[in-house]
């Protein structure tokens, strides 16, 4: 009897254990993808975009040093104290070595580089605590940009906003390591202002100062001090950089939305970084004139209004700054344009479910929007709030579900059954519009490949010899069609500002599904 009783108890315990395991499995969310792997690769991508002298721990080893004389075509002169009634002048070449190439070409555009930096920093600030082993790589990616931005803003009331002539560069197809096109240096100053690029640069420096506040307080203080100075310049000397530099920056990174959104965005980041009442007062006094009431439903390197609304809403929702109450409504209005089947929905989705904004590199809008969705969901959860969309209640969980669906589409859950991140999954783009990736590396082909010769590689149907791991391409059209051809830059070209916000979203997803 004792043995049969013991056996019965044993079976009952086994059944309880199994049922418990089934229940646990049933309630644990299932990950659609390896978000941790995608996170690692999304950060690694930035090493492939580096300009300047590469460090010994460079992981994207097919890339080598490039642009080592950037800035040298421009001299800056300073007057020295009088000596025996003579006024001496000392002139030195400007040092603009470093930074990132924005996309598949060899130009350093300051406007999108600054936005990339801000979004990388925001990704780290919101989700760095759950990045585990990748936090060091993410901070390194931020610092590669800020080291350059400190050089670009070294002289008061002057910002060097571009290195290279895009029209001449685009007439060539050559490796960054072989560049022989003119490295024209463009700047803004008091006489030729650029409040848009200046305020975005201030936002980048201010947000990065928060990234390094604990780990490198000295560097953090340098970044914040510079951010304050740069924002003051942006605000005092108002104007769009596209006006004075139109032939160089348009149509590449023309400031179509003007500079008001960047002033609001820059002030929001400086308020967050300094906690100074001066920036809070600036936001409250100027937000109407800076366009906070505009109900755009896009967030990009050009238009920052939506990002500013979400960022400032945190001060009300989480920090309980009551005077910023209206920003909850502003942020809700933006979010409601994205949610399908609510009265104020304004966003087009492809038949396969991809958020679709524009034909030219649409995936940049997907990654920037999904970051705002998961970030706002975080703020709402912390404050136990929801979104009200014309009577329809939208929960933080719904926002996260929308964001996850977009990322899953990007990683392979789409009609093409392919990942739009290079190196992720079994099927991904092979012929991306990217010079360094498409041309043989210096290790494989040490001889110089000059300007015109590279086009034979560009026009080839062979896969790119160098895998730009983590690069997110422009993506499919509104019908979910994707053409894997180098010549179709709108679909096959990657960009730093596409990857930067994705870093934060992937960190959130990887943590949510227990992968990190």
* Residues catalogued as catalytic: 433, 484, 493
For 460, the token pair is 């080839």
What is the rounded CA–CA span in Å between residue 145 and residue 376?
26
What is the rounded CA–CA span in Å between residue 385 and residue 395?
8
Give me the DSSP letters along 94-105.
------B--SSS
Q: Confirm if 79 and 25 have CB atoms less than 8 A apart.
A: no
Helix (H) or strand (E) holding 91: strand 89-93
Q: Confirm if 248 and 186 have CB atoms less than 8 A apart.
A: yes
CA dihedral 61, 62, 67, 69 (to 10 degrees): 70
Q: Confirm if 234 and 198 have CB atoms less than 8 A apart.
A: yes
Helix or strand or coil: residue 458? helix
Instruction: Summarize the chain as % helix, strand, coil (round to 5).
Output: 50, 10, 45
Burial class of residue 273, CB neighbours in 10 A (0-12, 13-18, 19+)? buried
Neighbours of 476 (CB within 10 A): 23
For 187, the token pair is 């700047």
């Amino acid at each position: 009897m004792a043995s049969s009783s013991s056996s019965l108890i044993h079976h009952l315990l086994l059944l309880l254990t199994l049922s418990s395991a089934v229940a646990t499995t049933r309630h644990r969310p299932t990950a659609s993808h390896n978000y941790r792997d995608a996170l690692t690769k999304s950060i690694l991508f930035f090493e492939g975009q580096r300009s300047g002298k590469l460090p010994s721990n460079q992981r994207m080893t097919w890339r080598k040093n490039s642009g080592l004389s950037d800035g040298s075509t421009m001299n800056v002169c300073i007057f020295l104290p009088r000596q025996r009634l003579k006024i001496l002048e000392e002139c030195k070449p400007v040092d603009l070595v470093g930074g990132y190439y924005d996309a598949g070409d060899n130009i350093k555009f300051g406007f999108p580089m600054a936005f990339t930096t801000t979004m990388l920093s925001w990704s780290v600030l919101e989700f760095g605590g759950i990045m585990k082993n990748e936090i060091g790589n993410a901070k390194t990616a931020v610092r590669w940009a800020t080291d350059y931005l400190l050089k670009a803003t070294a002289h008061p009331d002057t910002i060097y906003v571009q290195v290279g002539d895009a029209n001449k560069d685009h007439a060539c197809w050559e490796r960054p390591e072989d560049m022989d096109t003119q490295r024209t240096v463009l700047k803004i100053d008091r006489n030729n202002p650029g409040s848009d690029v200046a305020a975005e640069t201030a936002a980048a420096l201010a947000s990065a100062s928060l990234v390094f506040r604990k780990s490198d307080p000295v560097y953090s203080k340098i970044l914040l001090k510079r951010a304050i100075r740069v924002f003051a310049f942006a605000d005092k000397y108002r104007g769009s950089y596209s006006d004075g530099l139109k032939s160089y920056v348009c149509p590449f990174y023309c400031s179509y939305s003007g500079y008001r959104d960047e002033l609001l965005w820059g002030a929001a980041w400086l308020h967050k970084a300094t906690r100074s009442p001066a920036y809070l007062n600036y936001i409250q006094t100027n937000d109407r004139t800076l366009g906070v009431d505009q109900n755009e439903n896009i967030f990009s390197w050009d238009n920052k209004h939506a990002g500013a609304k979400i960022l400032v809403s945190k001060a009300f929702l989480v920090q309980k700054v009551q005077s910023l109450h209206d920003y909850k409504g502003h942020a809700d209005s933006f979010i409601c344009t994205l949610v399908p089947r609510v009265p104020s929905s304004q966003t087009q989705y492809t038949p396969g479910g991809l958020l679709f904004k524009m034909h030219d590199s649409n995936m940049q809008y997907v990654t920037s929007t999904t970051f705002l969705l998961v970030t706002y969901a975080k703020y709402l959860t912390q404050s136990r709030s929801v979104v009200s969309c014309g009577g329809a209640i939208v929960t933080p969980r719904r926002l996260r579900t929308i964001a996850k669906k977009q990322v899953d589409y990007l990683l392979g859950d789409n009609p093409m059954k392919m990942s739009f991140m290079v190196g992720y999954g079994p099927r991904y783009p092979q012929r991306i519009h990217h010079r360094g990736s498409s041309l043989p590396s210096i290790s494989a082909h040490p001889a110089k490949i000059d300007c015109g010769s590279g086009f034979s590689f560009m026009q080839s149907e062979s896969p790119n010899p160098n895998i730009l791991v983590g690069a997110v391409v422009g993506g499919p059209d509104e019908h979910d069609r994707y053409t894997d051809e180098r010549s179709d830059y709108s679909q096959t070209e990657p960009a730093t500002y596409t990857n930067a916000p994705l870093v934060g979203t992937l960190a959130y997803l990887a943590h949510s599904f227990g992968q990190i």
